Amino acid sequence: MSTEIKIKKRYLAMFLIPGFILVAIFVIGPIIGTFIISFETPNGFGLSNYYDVITETSPTKALVLLNDMPRPPPWGALIHNLVWTAIHLPATTFLGLLLAYLLRRVYGRSIVKSIMFIGMVIPMVVGGLIIRFMFDKYIGIVPNLCGLIGLTGLDKTWTSYPDTALIALIIGSIWLWTGFSLTIHAAAIDSLPKTYIEAAKIDGASDWQIFWKIIVPSVRAATLTVIVMTMLWDLKIFDIVYAATKGGPGGASTVLAFVMWLYFALDLAYGKAAAVAVILTLLTLIPAAIYIRQVMKRG
Amino acid sequence: MVSLYYRVRRIRLSTIIINIVVWFIAILWLLPFIGLFMVSVRPYSEVVLQGWWTILGGHYTLNNYIQVLTNPMYDLLRGYMNSLTIAIPSTFIPLILAAMIAYGFSRFSFTAKNVLFILILLIMAVPQQTMVIPMFFMLKAMGLLNKLIGLILVHSSWGIAWIAFFMRNYFNMMPREIEEAARVDGAGWATIFFRIVLPVSLPALASAAAIQFTWVWSDFFFALMFIYSPEKMVITQKVVTIKGQFYVDWGLLSAGSILTMLVPLLVYAALQKYYLRGMVGWASGKG
């Protein structure tokens, strides 16, 4: 018996150790390293990196910049991330869910699904370039349409002006990410028993009632997954910003991940860059905790 | 009878409206790609005056594609080769290592299992930004900074967590009878894993591979941090540096964008079923 346990242990080690060595050295080690670097200051260990990045007032690197409100951005990277989430999260979650429900009655629904999903497949850098393209004064369709219907103030390259850059990116990210919510919700709706909806129909429920009273509550788990993953995505946003606006103009569309990169690559201020990375990481722990609880509950 | 008649008519009308609305949204969603394509196959000097939506009467050319691929200023072909060189090993190395971890998690019970599992979930959630700064100095110390092999190492390690999670869910749902029968016949754990379990898991492995490959191909942040010589840069780095000589030439930029997203789109088109399963599994933990 004991030899069998020994053999089992040896095989378990064989399965786990090769992968976990890589993870330990190249993932867990550097994560711990970032925390340590964030406390390293010229005067020994301390919190001054955190103090500096939080109180920074230069618009391109500020995390919070809410003086003289209300006014157009820059509002600081952290606020931009929050505004981004506040618009993008409900918009994509709801639109995806609604489309997933309506799709059941659409001819060529698999084509529609594929079209909506393209945004999930393409590199986000390309997504950012396309956003710049769509909002370009000369060849972009949005400014040209705005000009056509008389919105002369919006007949410009959106990504080049502080009052429109952030919202252009947010709209673009809705375009890129709705396919995710649609796909996850469609899978959940497909797995519902058919009799569910049929029975409600026979009872005389309207489509709208079926959506709110039956579909929405029964795909709750999928919706929670979409919300968590979207929150994580909104916090991590970087490529789109880099490709479309480089955080500009004048920090009007910068985000946490971008500020972290600026500190690292331009200022060579590794302690401050690490401090921003830690702040970003701590924020992701909120959706992460919800996600982990959900997964552990399911087993 | 009458009420039934109206009922059928009402439903059909709403179906028509739903079809119109949903297809309108779908076409709206497709429009940026159509625009991008139109700009890429026409001379930019023409597009900028007429708009890409004037389809008739323009000139069509592949010049933009030839330019971005071969002109040494843009050199997308080099980016293609570098991205492929990185993405292929960065798909298969974590795939096999993570499948082994997942099998250990699924078939053995041990004391640290829950802790290690939560660790994997945490790694899945934290952003790349969390680990790049120390990683930069580690790669530098190892002489792997600005080397393709360094980036392969980073991507492989980073991919293990999510693939292990995904494969573990798959193994948990897999029936164990064949494995038990093989064990009775005297097969060892390694034989069972490599000869029986892995071959039956091909669909799940295909899902994980399709997504990991696309993510590595699409990655920009790791590449931006760890690769800086133009001749080593991957495709996503190359495409954002495309500019015209005097102004932003959207003809070149759109051709470059299309070439960059072509590979992930082909993977998606070829492995659509697996890709979607992988996406749902990654997000919701269903194998």
SS3 B28: helix
Same domain, residue pair A222 and A258: yes
Q: pLDDT at position B1, please?
A: 47
pLDDT of residue B287: 44
Residues A235 and A279 in one domain: yes
| Helix axes A162-190 and A77-102, enclosed angle (nearest 10) | 40
Model confidence pLDDT, tens digit, residues A241-279:
999 999 889 899 999 999 999 999 999 999 999 999 999
Gap between the Cα atoms of A164 and A183, Å rounded: 30
Same-domain status, A141 and A105: yes
Over pLDDT 70: what percentage of chain A? 98
Indicate if A192 and A174 belong to the same structural domain: yes
Complex prediction ipTM: 0.92
**DSSP single-letter state for residue A27:** I
SS3 of residue B253 by DSSP: helix
Tell whether A18 is within 8 A of chain B (Cβ). yes
A116 CB-side CA count, 13 A? 29
Give me the mean pLDDT over the B240-256 stretch: 83
Highest mean pLDDT among A74-83, A134-143, A203-212, B5-14: A74-83
Interchain pair A26, B153: CB under 8 A: yes
CATH class of B67-284: mainly alpha
Whether residue A22 sits in one domain with residue A66: no
> Looking at the predicted structure, is the pLDDT value of residue B33 above 50?
yes
State whether A212 and A123 are in the same domain.
yes
The tens digit of pLDDT for each residue in B86-134 reads 999 999 999 999 999 999 998 888 888 889 999 999 999 899 999 999 9
Measure CB to CB from residue B100 to each of A18, A141, A236 and give the nearest one.
A18
Domain coverage including residue A27 = 1-42
Are A58 and A205 within one domain?
yes
- Helices B250-270, B272-284: axis angle to 10 degrees equals 90
Please indicate whether residue B245 or residue B150 has the higher confidence score (pLDDT). B150
Q: Are residues A133 and A158 in the same domain?
A: yes
Residue A151 gets the label, from left (phi > 0), alpha (psi -120 to 50) or beta, of beta
CA dist., res. B138 & res. A224, Å (int): 37
Which DSSP letter does residue A203 get?
T
Q: Quick one: pLDDT at residue A299?
A: 67
Q: Which are the contacts of A44, defined by CB distance < 8 A and separation ≥ 6? A: none
Is the distance from CB of A68 to CB of A151 less than 8 angstroms? Answer: no
pLDDT bracket for residue B173 (50, 70, 90): confident
pLDDT digits (tens, 9 = 90+) for B208-237: 999 999 999 999 999 999 999 999 999 999
Of A19, A126, A229, the CB nearest to B98: A19
- Quote the Cα angle for B4-B8-B9, to 5°: 115
Residue B259 has a pLDDT of 94
Cβ–Cβ below 8 Å for A126 and B260: yes
Phi, psi of B221 (to 5 degrees): -65, -50
Task: Count structural domains, chain A.
Answer: 2
B243 in Cβ contact with B254 (< 8 Å): no
**Does A14 reach chain B within 8 Å, measured CB to CB?**
yes
Residue A39 has pLDDT above 70, yes or no: yes
**Residues A54 and A38 reside in one and the same domain:** no
CB B32 within 8 A of CB A130: yes
Residues A129 and A77 in one domain: yes
Please give the mean pLDDT across all residues of chain B: 88
pLDDT per residue as tens digits for the range A111-151: 999 999 999 999 999 999 999 999 988 888 888 888 888 88
The CATH number of the domain where A204 resides is what?
1.10.3720.10
- The helix-helix angle for B2-40 and A162-190 (nearest 10°) equals 130
Work out the average pLDDT over B168-178: 88
Q: Does the structure show a pLDDT above 50 at B3?
A: yes
Q: Which of B103, B10, B76, B87 is nearest to B255 (CA)?
A: B76
Q: What is the pLDDT of residue A214?
A: 87
Q: Band the pLDDT of B6: cuts 50, 70, 90.
A: low
In chain B, domain spans: 2-61, 67-284
Please tell me the distance in Å from A287's CA to the nearest CA on chain B: 8
Size of interface A-B (CB pairs under 8 A): 263
Do A80 and A176 lie in one domain? The reply is yes
Question: Is some CB atom of chain B closer than 8 A to the CB atom of A279?
Answer: no
Question: Does A141 share its domain with A277?
Answer: yes
The predicted structure's pLDDT at residue B73 = 84
Cα dihedral across residues B271, B276, B279, B281: positive or negative = negative
**Mean pLDDT for chain A overall:** 90
State residue A131's pLDDT score.
94
